[in-house]
Structure 1
Amino acid sequence: MTDYAFAFTLLFAAILTLGVLTKFYLASRQVRHVAQHRARVPTAFAATISLDAHQKAADYTIAKTRFGMLESAFSAAVLLGWTLLGGLDTLNQAIARAGIAEYGTLVPQLALLAAFGLISGMLDLPFTLYSTFRIEERFGFNKMTFGLWLGDLVKSTLVGLLIGLPIVALILWLMGSAGAWWWLWAWGAWMGFNLLVLVLFPTVIAPLFNKFKPLDDDALKARVTALMQRCGFAAKGLFVMDGSKRSAHANAYFTGFGAAKRVVFYDTLLKQLNPGEVDAVLAHELGHFKHKHIIKRIVSMFAMSLAGFALLGWLSTQVWFYTGLGVRPN
């Protein structure tokens, strides 16, 4: 290992450790603060929130935060195992010995990424199961059966492969065929892919998992439309999603891009809140639109991904980058 590779190994380990410690510190402060104020409803909400509801919310926050700390520690350990402990290198060498390169130079690379994603997903499954069927169940939020959860897992995996493998294959092909500026072409392809997903998600992807029906409450529809018009927001439609088949949590969101924008209400939201409270939730979402948060987020994503691809373009030519992460370059 060269001096550069050793220095990068130390830097990587230091950043990983600092990140975990920072998350633990902030999460611990949050848990202590919530626990200290669990016994009494804040004065501003005392007239509308019962002590039981307040304590349930506090206990749920503490349970989720503590579980999140465990997840963070496990994720860091897995990342360490993939990199400095040689997991990714072992997987790469095993795929290289499989002799599948004869089917094309991209095949081993796609196989490596697919195997990495599959193994990582399997390692995360116990945490997902525990979160859904223990924590969410304990607090009365989970409405999923194991069959529905398993069906979602299969569908999300297939959708990920269907839309993910082509863009990954394109980027890998550009890395080997587009010369020194491959990263710029790859960035353009990645941004186009993300914009396409924004357009397709409401009408193609989301209906694979949930049912959406037009909002049929005329009074509520009039209130919502009037509120959106005051903010200058135009949506293609107002829809209700059957969120109750998975969770008792309530929510509303905007989705889509350009002319395909739509407003979606969880059915749980409409059951739990009165019209004025629904207005308040929608007003929060409209605030994101009014302050151009969505546009700003897209621009930020463009800028950060461009910087990321440019950095990757340079690092991909540095042997110390691979060896410093415990991977032997092919």
Structure 2
Amino acid sequence: MHLTVPVALVLGALVLTYAVTGLARWLNVRSLTDYLPAEFAQEFDEAEYGRSQEYLRAGARLEWLRESLDLMLVCAFVLLGGLGWLDAWTRSFGFGELATGLAYVGALMLAQGVLSLPFDVYDTFVLEARFGFNATTPRLFVMDRLKGLALGVVLGGALLAAVLWAYGTLGQWAWLAAWGAITAFTAVMMVVAPVWILPLFNRFEPLPQGELRSAIEGYATGQGFSLGGVFVMDGSKRSAKANAFFTGIGKRKRISLYDTLIDKMSTSEVLAVLAHEMGHARLGHIRMGFVLAVAKMGLVLWVLQLFLGSAGLQEAFGVVRPSAHAGLVLFGLAYQPLALALGVAANAWSRRFEYQADAYAAKTLPDGGAKALATALKTLSRANLSNLTPHRLSVWLHYTHPPVLDRIRRLTRRPA
């Protein structure tokens, strides 16, 4: 296949994205400092701080290798006419247009999964194990992948079919129909996932009666906050890392705590983390996040409509019979710089929400709440070997949360 202008532009978009993210990663490693920030003097010793930095370096090397191989394989596949060959191959089975499209996209996604598998295995059983995090057994690893594959085929396949049908049959209204389908799917998943999907991967048990549960329920009642439940998740069966998260909408709001979080923190620290999560709901961040995500998706689908209408584009990549499925895959490649730009905007909003949730927790917790949240953040950083000094470009491009030092410094400026 010839390197025509359309092909050069699409591959150029991939190379540009690779270069920008690679630069951010390189600067992130370069920003590591020899001195421990004063705020962490009581949490880290020099050996632990050095270990957290080596964890970042090791992860950066792995991601660089993964992304470099991905870029080379995609470029080779495109330049060798792979997109057109795959379209001809899937059409040779004699399926209808929709089934052919599902087979086409599914084959590419399966190939991507197979190629990424060695990196996932290394990440889990070598890198994470080396730093004392991995608790995943080979059997659990395989079962996770099989369950994820089954969900992808059933749920992802149904959604993909709706999108391909819309763009293949509805003309100028396709993007609106696809937008509606994806929005409805996302809203349903916000309700269904915590109850039916997440338990396929982890066990969720109600937090037992005791000091912590009483503190959480007392705080929630004082804030007029209705909870659908507080659960402990067996995160330790996969990793030693600690976390907590908030799911659901309306009266179905649920808080889930990793068992590792409970093991590593005091009651006041866990309560501070939950107050932060409740702050997101109280301040409307979940609703606003959903609206922003829906608006972003609408923009992307509209741009996809324009992309699919570009005359001769698919033929330049060796696709003899232009289709919604081949156009969707091409758009996925060309879209990368736009995805990066939209991600920058979305992450900026997310970081702003995190600061607001921190302020809410500090304001509504009992005396010493700001200090308790700052201490909890330090404990999480130590437990997860977090990077304490990320480069601003990396933060700007990828961070949904502000750097932990920035959050702690804001909190400690508030009256305790």
Q: Which amino acid aligns with 2:154?
A: L
Shift of 1:76: 2.3
Contact kept? 1:84, 1:326, Cα under 8 Å:
no
Residues 56/188 of structure 1: CA separation in 2 closer, same or farther (3 Å cut) = same
Q: Which amino acid aligns with 2:92?
A: R
Q: Which amino acid aligns with 1:11?
A: L
Equivalent position of 1:132 in the other structure: 124
Contact kept? 2:102, 2:161, Cα under 8 Å:
yes
Equivalent position of 1:163 in the other structure: 155
TM-score (norm 2): 0.72
Q: Give the alignment partner of residue 185 of structure 2, picking from 193, 213, 237.
A: 193
CA deviation string 1:241-280 (max 9, x = no partner): 0111111011000012232220000011111111122123
Equivalent position of 2:134 in the other structure: 142
Give the percent of matched residue pairs that are identical in Structure 1 and Structure 2. 35
Report 1:37-52 matches (<5 A). Answer: 37=34, 40-52=35-47
Q: Given the alignment of the two structures, is residue 55 of structure 1 paired with residue 50 of structure 2, yes or no?
A: yes
CA deviation string 1:89-132 (max 9, x = no partner): 2211111223x22xx33221111111111111111101111100
Q: Which amino acid aligns with 2:37?
A: P
Q: Which amino acid aligns with 2:11?
A: A
Shift of 1:306: 0.9
Shift of 1:151: 0.8
2-side partners of 1:244 and 1:214: how far apart? 16
Q: SS in structure 2 opposite 1:319? A: coil
Equivalent position of 1:275 in the other structure: 267
Contact kept? 1:142, 1:246, Cα under 8 Å:
yes
Equivalent position of 1:95 in the other structure: 90
Equivalent position of 2:29 in the other structure: 31
Equivalent position of 1:298 in the other structure: 290
Q: Give the alignment partner of residue 70 of structure 2, picking from 59, 62, 75.
A: 75
2-side partners of 1:187 and 1:83: how far apart? 29
Q: SS in structure 2 opposite 1:172? A: helix
Q: Which amino acid aligns with 1:16?
A: L
Contact kept? 1:211, 1:242, Cα under 8 Å:
yes
2-side partners of 1:41 and 1:290: how far apart? 35
Equivalent position of 2:16 in the other structure: 18
Contact kept? 1:213, 1:240, Cα under 8 Å:
yes
Equivalent position of 2:100 in the other structure: 108
Q: Which amino acid aligns with 2:156?
A: G
5+ long unaligned stretches in structure 1: none
Find runs of 4+ consecutive structure 1 residues off by over 4 angstroms. Answer: 229-232
Residues 126/80 of structure 1: CA separation in 2 closer, same or farther (3 Å cut) = same
Q: SS in structure 2 opposite 1:238? A: strand
Q: Which amino acid aligns with 1:54?
A: Y
2-side partners of 1:82 and 1:283: how far apart? 49
Q: Which amino acid aligns with 1:297?
A: G
1-side partners of 2:315 and 2:217: how far apart? 58
Q: Give the alignment partner of residue 212 of structure 1, picking from 199, 204, 214.
A: 204
Contact kept? 1:41, 1:51, Cα under 8 Å:
yes
Contact kept? 1:255, 1:263, Cα under 8 Å:
yes
Q: SS in structure 1 opposite 2:133? A: coil
Q: SS in structure 1 opposite 2:239? A: coil
Report 1:308-323 matches (<5 A). Answer: 308-323=300-315
Residues 60/182 of structure 1: CA separation in 2 closer, same or farther (3 Å cut) = same
CA deviation string 1:39-63 (max 9, x = no partner): x432221123222322221211221
Contact kept? 1:231, 1:290, Cα under 8 Å:
no
Q: SS in structure 2 opposite 1:213? A: strand
5+ long unaligned stretches in structure 2: 323-416
Q: SS in structure 2 opposite 1:140? A: coil
1-side partners of 2:222 and 2:13: how far apart? 47
Shift of 1:296: 2.3
Q: SS in structure 2 opposite 1:329? A: coil
Q: CA RMSD in A?
A: 2.2
1-side partners of 2:82 and 2:73: how far apart? 9
Q: SS in structure 2 opposite 1:263? A: strand
Q: Which amino acid aligns with 2:26?
A: S
Shift of 1:14: 2.6
Q: Give the alignment partner of residue 241 of structure 1, picking from 230, 233, 254.
A: 233
Residues 53/16 of structure 1: CA separation in 2 closer, same or farther (3 Å cut) = same
Q: SS in structure 2 opposite 1:264? A: strand
2-side partners of 1:289 and 1:146: how far apart? 37
2-side partners of 1:314 and 1:284: how far apart? 41
Residues 15/291 of structure 1: CA separation in 2 closer, same or farther (3 Å cut) = farther
285-294 or 250-259, which moves further after superposition? Answer: 285-294
Residues 299/324 of structure 1: CA separation in 2 closer, same or farther (3 Å cut) = farther
Q: Give the alignment partner of residue 152 of structure 1, picking from 144, 151, 162.
A: 144
TM-score (norm 1): 0.90
2-side partners of 1:87 and 1:228: how far apart? 56
Q: Which amino acid aligns with 2:73?
A: V
